[in-house]
Amino acid sequence: MTTNHKPQELSELKNILIVGSGGRENSIAWALSKNKSIEQIYVCPGNGGTANFKKCSCLNINSKDEKAIIFECQRLKVNLVIIGPEVPLAEGLANKMREAGLTVFGPCKEGAQLEASKDWAKNLMVENNIPTAKYWTTNSKEEALQILDKFQKPLVIKADGLAAGKGVTVCESVAQTKDAIKEVFSGKFGSAGNKVILEEKIEGPEVSIFALCDGEKLIVLPPAQDHKRLLEGDKGPNTGGMGAYAPAPLINQQALQDLTELILIPTLEGLRKKKIKYIGVIYAGLMLTESGPKVIEFNCRFGDPECQALMPLMGEEFASVLFSCARGELEKAPKLKFKDSCSACVVAASAGYPDKPQTGRQININSESNSSLQVFHAGTTIDQFDNLITSGGRVLSVVAQGESFDKAFDLAYDKLKQINFDGMHFRKDIGYQVTNI
């Protein structure tokens, strides 16, 4: 891998480009815009809320056209590129950008396998003694059924590749596991299902931890918890995420330090041993089981909506820290400070989400954001008449901070009362683990 960084000083960071169009990228743009020395933040392609923040604008080029993005980065004198979503990372956008001399926060294609291949990630965990659930990998339905026959317990069935969050079935019975095996081999997940992981089912509360990495060193962000299910009581189908909160009180400072040593440092070290200079976020989704914490997934980017809950906690120096990571010089970064506050995020979704979200509905909203209340846009766009309309399943993330989670969630839910669009729905119980206690 080439890392062809131009010599730049931290103070030279003026223009940033963020690749992506979701709530995650919207919240990152907002957090970076707080840094006074940043002049311009371009989001490619961005969404209907990008231009709400000072210094932020959409870059209207096809986000799949890698050559065009690289050309624009050079033309606009972009000093730092941040790649938000997993697909361009897995396809090697960061590699191509670095080869073109750009400074990029986001792992190379090789490193993005941490998320793009569950089998690859599992091997890395085993090689580096990182605790995870027992598993089998196979590319044959017959073999998968034989494994189930021997094990005779419900399993978790996972398509190996990227499946937009839909490739995992947590089975309740042996019969359901059999059906899930047949389904995953039916071609439903395209090439993502060519290889399949059968995983032992584990139990315990889930929490996510994050490290910003410069290839060798890392710093850890506050832990977060999200709600993946569509309906209250964590029922209904899995979604990209209906809400989140941070810092998750389940993990105190000492526990976070322990998890850093048990999981994050060995992961980065394992990548380094494979000669992968991993620059970007390592996101580890954990289950805290009776026999200790275990990794259930890795992502190679900030989670969405965890990112929206985390960004308001970042100090102004966040931009410099990402820039230092991208240059492989985390030691030169200013110390990243976190706001001592509870951050609550509730997602407002379209009717029909997650299967067939309705789009094109007018949104009535006052989306001004301030230091303790933010409205981050995801599936929104501006139509030809200058109306803000829905363009996706997850439309907005309303995020608030307070001295307690009760106060933060009250503020977020109050704000939601002032927002509407036809078919809008949101869970009323986000953060139930940390409110009214």
Residue 216 near residue 150 (C-beta atoms within 8 A):
no
Minimal distance, residue 210 CB to ligand AMP, in Å: 15
Residue 315 near residue 31 (C-beta atoms within 8 A):
no
Q: For residue 221, what are its two tokens?
A: 């962000």
d(CA 263, CA 348): 33
List beta partners, residue 279: 214
Computed on alpha carbons and rounded to an integer, the radius of gyration of the chain in Å comes to: 21
Minimal distance, residue 133 CB to ligand AMP, in Å: 4
Q: Give 228 or 394: the residue with its C-beta nearer to ligand AMP.
A: 228
Q: For residue 139, what are its two tokens?
A: 């590319």
Residue 399 near residue 309 (C-beta atoms within 8 A):
yes
Binding site residues, ligand AMP, CB under 6 A: 133, 156, 158, 168, 170, 199, 201-202, 206, 228, 285, 296-297
DSSP state of 221: P
Q: For residue 40, what are its two tokens?
A: 């311009």
Q: How far does Cα 157 stand from its chain's mean position? A: 22
DSSP 235-270: EEEEEEEEEEEES-TTS-HHHHHHHIIIIIHHHHHH
Minimal distance, residue 65 CB to ligand AMP, in Å: 29
d(CA 347, CA 349): 6
Minimal distance, residue 205 CB to ligand AMP, in Å: 10
3-state secondary structure of 5: coil
Q: Give 27 or 132: the residue with its C-beta nearer to ligand AMP.
A: 132
Q: Give 31 or 345: the residue with its C-beta nearer to ligand AMP.
A: 345
Q: Give 107 or 285: the residue with its C-beta nearer to ligand AMP.
A: 285
Q: Give 309 or 363: the residue with its C-beta nearer to ligand AMP.
A: 309
Minimal distance, residue 138 CB to ligand AMP, in Å: 16
Which amino acid appears at position 199 of this protein? E
d(CA 157, CA 271): 25
Q: Give 32 or 144: the residue with its C-beta nearer to ligand AMP.
A: 144
Q: Longest Cα pair distance anywhere in the chain, in angstroms? A: 62
C-alpha distance from residue 109 to each of 14, 97, 197, 348, 405 (Å): 27, 12, 21, 32, 38
Minimal distance, residue 174 CB to ligand AMP, in Å: 15
C-alpha distance from residue 169 to each of 156, 196, 338 (Å): 6, 11, 36
Would you say the C-alpha torsion 115, 317, 79, 304 has a positive or negative sign? positive
Minimal distance, residue 235 CB to ligand AMP, in Å: 13
Minimal distance, residue 287 CB to ligand AMP, in Å: 6
DSSP state of 321: H
- Axis crossing angle, helix 265-273 with helix 109-116, rounded to the nearest 10: 130
Q: Give 32 or 197: the residue with its C-beta nearer to ligand AMP.
A: 197
Minimal distance, residue 312 CB to ligand AMP, in Å: 24
Q: Give 131 or 315: the residue with its C-beta nearer to ligand AMP.
A: 131
Q: Give 76 or 202: the residue with its C-beta nearer to ligand AMP.
A: 202
Minimal distance, residue 208 CB to ligand AMP, in Å: 9
Q: Which residue is nearest to ligand AMP (CB)?
A: 297
Q: Give 25 or 226: the residue with its C-beta nearer to ligand AMP.
A: 226
Which amino acid appears at position 191 of this protein? S
